[in-house]
Structure 1
């Protein structure tokens, strides 16, 4: 026979009307963009004219205006992002980037010793500057007063960036050091077989050290998964070369025989191959890498899901490229807005409960010089 006993003093007693609170259900949030091409076109034209009038000095202010426009028009749950970067700090970084680029291009023209010193300097400086770029861009971005951030260490930056920088710089350096032995310059090219792993490590460095308030991101992706993207991208490149060569052959046959026809075929095939590769490989790699990386990035209670469609993105980029060429570059701001809106539309955020409680501490970071140097080398960090 069972007997009833008094509950422990620390036990929770529920009345007949009380129920246990259910855990918050996940909600999928969509990012939106409230800007448009015409509005950004006016900003773009003013930035371009002032940059030309000031011999490039205004480009720092132009960059801040551009980032502020896109961040302030990016909306999540009724609130927009914001960018707080200092244009003067960006200008200092731009000047540094010009110095580094000039030194890289003309180093061996002065002397072999100076050239080697510049190459070593770039190898040592570039990973540090790329880390600074991420810290500056994210640390000056906020959402509802909460700063984003990046806490990757200097050592981790060198592990991520030193191998690809070495692979990129060594062929040119060896060719300049040993002009009579061009075969030596091809030896570092074997390292490109490891390029997918290098790319994977860079993405890990970028995503695994993101901060939202005081919350750290987690990121788990095997590097070998990037090989599939490069194999497919290489196949698309071969397909583009084959199609361009076939079209060039037919065009050359129609033009007749002779040296002029052969020259026409060669030029046409080269230009068409590059253009088709740009329209196929570039969008494909962006879609596959973005989907993989973002869909495996998460914060406590916050998960990302990227669903970019490769074919639709290729069509969008092809249309943007065509209109940009036909408009002599004036369609460029519309193309940028189209791509940005398209990518946001396919990036979804799943949260448990309220996104406002996902972070509790605001952090700020510096490093504008690294961000501007990254722009100088043609590297886009705003993924």
Structure 2
């Protein structure tokens, strides 16, 4: 497990002993209309090039958001190479095709393909983190990620196996669909897997040569999943009850069954994507970021669950009503809202701290991210 080393003696001498903690707010200077123009151009060029331009579109998007993210009067920046993103896109498509069609050729080919996916996935996820963070800078100083390959496998193999196992069992035994339910008990450990993923992401962050500290008990994630499960159960039961009453009033069994099916589908979709999803994002983000720190720098996330769920619901409705045209405005609103509830507490002056870290990191840190990993995300 990664541990945080003590700051060097020279850093302690340079930091003012009487420096009082300062709370800094992150802000976003972009707006929906400006991003809409970028989004439209990106969409048009992506369609015109049959998806090839999507890599350059993503780099433009990340640069726009990073360059408009302000902390203490300075903005972030993104330096990623679109070619690395394109390679990641092509590889992710190949992996997706292989997953869906491997068993169509033969059982042996399918098993070999699944084994290859399990072996490649953790390594690629680590590369994606190194690419994203290593190509992000603040005040000219690159961020970074130093999680090892071994830690990546310990983190990502269990959830990857849990996700792939039902489909593999079904492909091997098409006449016995009940076998696909055998791995379901593994999902009881999903909160622990989620907690390990967040630890891997946060405990290995780098700011110059400074390592992050992350201390969260994995069992705390169970509460969030229990609340989410109870929310889904209560919503679905309520939908069945209301639909059953309506069906009974109409006097038609067929109508009652149809109404119940539609109600359950609609409610489950709404709860999972617009209530459970945002709720987990809020609770996990608040917990993880509020327990992440660098020497002299601490984070505090205060996202309110109800307001965030309301924002996501509004964005979803407006996106549907505008046939997708509201999407860039929704992305900006969510990004700005999350930034507004993330605060940075600094002992003394962040400019001096960043300058000191840059001096210690040296020239090697300036180009350390070049060529690191690829980007698999969309």
Instruction: Give the TM-score taking structure 1 as reference length.
Output: 0.89
Q: CA deviation at 1:183?
A: 3.0
- The match for 2:304 among 304, 309, 313 is 309
Alignment of 1:170-185 (within 5 A): 170-185=165-180
Q: Tell me the secondary structure at the aligned position of residue 371 of structure 1.
A: coil
Q: CA deviation at 1:185?
A: 1.9
Aligned partners of 1:52 and 1:43: how far apart in 2?
14
1:119 aligns with 2:119: no
Aligned partners of 2:227 and 2:298: how far apart in 1?
28
- The match for 1:232 among 204, 227, 249 is 227
User: 1:99 — aligned with what?
Assistant: 94
Give ranges in structure 2 of 5+ residues lacking alignment.
1-15
Aligned partners of 2:176 and 2:320: how far apart in 1?
41
Q: CA deviation at 1:208?
A: 0.1
Distance 1:43 1:118, change over 3 A: same
1:282 aligns with 2:286: no
Alignment of 1:156-171 (within 5 A): 156-171=151-166
Q: CA deviation at 1:253?
A: 4.6
Q: Tell me the secondary structure at the aligned position of residue 252 of structure 2.
A: coil
Distance 1:325 1:316, change over 3 A: same
Aligned partners of 1:79 and 1:110: how far apart in 2?
55
User: 2:5 — aligned with what?
Assistant: none
Is 1:163–1:198's contact at 8 Å kept on the other side of the alignment? yes
User: 1:49 — aligned with what?
Assistant: 44
Aligned partners of 1:168 and 1:104: how far apart in 2?
12
User: 2:9 — aligned with what?
Assistant: none
User: 1:365 — aligned with what?
Assistant: 369
User: 1:58 — aligned with what?
Assistant: 53
Q: Tell me the secondary structure at the aligned position of residue 221 of structure 1.
A: coil
Aligned length: 354
User: 2:6 — aligned with what?
Assistant: none
Is 1:33–1:74's contact at 8 Å kept on the other side of the alignment? yes
Q: Tell me the secondary structure at the aligned position of residue 23 of structure 1.
A: coil
Distance 1:186 1:149, change over 3 A: same
When structure 1 is superposed on structure 2, of 27-36 and 261-270 the one drifting more is: 261-270
Is 1:93–1:369's contact at 8 Å kept on the other side of the alignment? no
Distance 1:341 1:254, change over 3 A: farther
Aligned partners of 2:69 and 2:156: how far apart in 1?
30
Q: For each residue in 1:10-68, what CA deviation from the matched residue of structure 2 results, as whole angstroms up to 9, or x when unmatched?
A: xxxxxxxxxxx742111000000000111111111111111111111110011001100
Aligned partners of 1:367 and 1:88: how far apart in 2?
10
Report the aligned-residue RMSD.
1.6
Aligned partners of 2:374 and 2:177: how far apart in 1?
33
Alignment of 1:164-313 (within 5 A): 164-253=159-248, 256-313=251-308
Q: CA deviation at 1:186?
A: 1.5
User: 2:143 — aligned with what?
Assistant: 148
Is 1:128–1:370's contact at 8 Å kept on the other side of the alignment? no
Give ranges in structure 1 of 5+ residues lacking alignment.
1-20, 376-383
